[in-house]
Amino acid sequence: GLPAKAQLVVSDPTVIASDMVNLGKEIAQAKRQFNEFVDVYNKVSDLVVGFRSVKEANKALEDLSKIPDSILRNQRNSKYLSDSEKIRSFKEVDAIFSSCLDLLSEIQEIAEPTSSSNSRLTEGDRLSIIRDLCDKVVALRDKANRIAKDYDRIAMGREARANTRRMINQLNGYKSK
């Protein structure tokens, strides 16, 4: 074959300097594009979280609207709750439902940037307030569920005690009515 020949590496300092300047510009542009991407991602992420909160609040409101029916159905025919307890249970849940409707109106008002009081709010502030209000709706739904379950537990406890008394009376030879 051919004999091996060494070649000298030729380097031009001006070419190297211009390559370094171009590399610096490309890095700066890449950093700018990355920062823009991060800003867009953060905005979209906030919107997604906000929409998720609103969706959860709507589900909570839907659940809340079903609670009065279930309370009426379960507690209406219960002979182990007094009428005043049945009414109190229904009124407590109804008051919570009304509070949720008020919160929903407030959410709608804040979501509309056209209203004069909300025009000063930034989008981030508006989303934060909406998320907080949605969390309140969910908390109220949970409270209404606890109220309904508390009255159901009261009725079940009284029923269990009545059944126990009836069984003891039968064991002692008394006839139950």
21-30, 65-74, 84-93, 150-159: which is most confident: 150-159
Lowest mean pLDDT among 37-46, 86-95, 164-173: 37-46
Largest CA distance in the chain: 122
pLDDT of residue 163: 93
Model confidence at 157: pLDDT above 90: yes
Model confidence at 159: pLDDT above 90: yes
- Does the predicted TM-score (pTM) go above 0.75? no
pLDDT of residue 114: 66
Q: What is the pLDDT of residues 20-45, one digit of tens each?
A: 888 888 888 888 888 888 887 777 77
Burial class (CB in 10 A: 0-12, 13-18, 19+), 68: middle
Model confidence at 177: pLDDT above 60: no
Q: Which carries the bigger pLDDT value, residue 38 or residue 164?
A: 164
Average pLDDT over residues 131-158: 90
Tokens of 41: 């991602």
When the pLDDT of each residue in the chain is averaged and rounded to a whole number, the result is 82
